Amino acid sequence: MIENERLEEEAEEIRRETAEGSPEVAEHDLVADLQRQLEEANSKVLYAAAEIQNVRRRLETEKQQAANYATTQFARDMLAIKDHLERALSAVSEELRGDKVASSFLAGMESTARELEQVFTRHGITRIDAMGEQLDPTYSWKPAATTHSTGRPRISGIPTQAVL
């Protein structure tokens, strides 16, 4: 190993001595050095361009994920409001529906529920009829466990309550 280093140093010394007396060798060394520097610079430019492209892709992906998450959270919040509205409407008795003042108020609530349903449909949010069907985790979200009369949890994989 040391011998190889010594030989390389000697060869370099001979080359320098020869180059001093010969402009062609010095010019060749200069061109070789410039070519090496150009290759290094090209390599750095290509690396930087690839890194910029990766950063752009990563930022675009993160931007899309943030937008999807914000939309999903908003849709979940709106679904909760729609569920409350539907439960309130289903709890109204026929007697109250017969009342003139209450019926116009209920008509407004029903109109709001229909409009909310149309907005969900326009944005691809649809009701999945899962009652009595095997649970599909692709479509279901946060299934709640119910209990038997014995107090033990009942997890059958079949939904017992549907929420939009």
Q: What is the pTM of this model?
A: 0.46
The better pLDDT of the pair 112, 12 is held by: 112
The better pLDDT of the pair 24, 21 is held by: 24
Report CA-CA distances (Å) from 116 to 76, 81, 87, 88: 13, 9, 14, 15
The better pLDDT of the pair 156, 96 is held by: 96
Q: Evaluate if residue 100 carries a pLDDT over 90.
A: no
**Euclidean distance between CA atoms 105 and 111, whole angstroms:** 10
Q: Evaluate if residue 108 carries a pLDDT over 80.
A: yes
Bridge partners for 154 per DSSP: 146
Average pLDDT on 81-88 reads: 89
Q: Where are the domains of the chain?
A: 125-144+154-164
Average pLDDT on 120-128 reads: 80
Q: Evaluate if residue 143 carries a pLDDT over 50.
A: no
pLDDT band at 140 (very low <50, low <70, confident <90, very high): low
For 153, residues 6+ apart whose C-beta sits below 8 A from its C-beta are 145, 146, 147
pLDDT of residue 2: 81
